[in-house]
Amino acid sequence: MSIPTPHIKAKPEDFAPTVLMPGDPLRSKFIAETFLEDAVLVNNVRGVQGYTGTYKGKKVSVMASGMGMPSMGIYSYELFNFFGVENIIRIGSAGALHADIPLRSLVIGMSTSYNSTFAGQYQLPGIYAPTASFKLLRSAVDTAEKLGMDYRVGNILSNDLFYDDGNRGLEWQKMGVLAVEMEAAALYMNAARAGKNALAICTISDNIVTGEECTAEERQNSFTQMMELALTIA
């Protein structure tokens, strides 16, 4: 495939080695305007905004992934394989599967369960276990600890369905899965296949057990701890 791709109108040098990927393009814009110096819009195909600037003197990019594994699969694949990106850190929202995980706390995905057929493309003779890159995971945990953040580390569920005609993944609770989101498994698999690094840092936007939830505006603009954590380890 040639560059620019059908989804990213940029040059490889437009991106930093590390890209932060929120799902929401407006969250990408918020991060660029709030945290980055000299941020430049490097992609806006289909409104999927990507910016590159500096954070405390370090070059960093942020670009939206869109919702769901198919969308994350496209953008992370192209960044890893065509644009020379080495690290992608997903920063998004997740729904807690346990009553004692509070709103706005952080869940760092050590590994992901999933109900997707995404791994079928690899024709593996078994079931693949998507796992975060240890160097990013260790750095995130050490930094969160140092900064006194409320965080948990463990398995998360990447669910293909938001409206699933059921109980939104609560079956996974008994296996210790912490929270449910929609993108991390595809990111981890693309990173593994490309020999690159990936991590998902999620803010709890709702609790599926208690029914508590944040507003759409709060999801877009107030989940700053995960943004600062990701920027610090980028």
- Catalytic positions, written as ranges: 206
- Chain centroid to Cα 76, Å, comes to 10
Mark 59-73 as b/e (b = at least 16 C-beta within 10 Å). Answer: ebbbbbbbebbebbb
d(CA 226, CA 211): 22
Give Cβ neighbours of residue 61 (< 8 Å, ≥ 6 apart).
14, 15, 16, 18, 19, 20, 42, 50, 51, 52, 85
H/E element, 41: strand 37-43
d(CA 176, CA 3): 42
**How far is CA 144 from each of CA 34, 219, 225, rounded to the nearest angstrom?**
20, 20, 9
Question: Using the 8-state DSSP alphabet, how is residue 52 labeled?
Answer: E
Both tokens of 203, joined, read 């803010």
Does residue 96 contact residue 195 with C-beta atoms inside 8 Å? no
Q: If we measure between CA atoms, which residue out of 142, 106, 136, 139 comes closest to residue 198?
A: 136
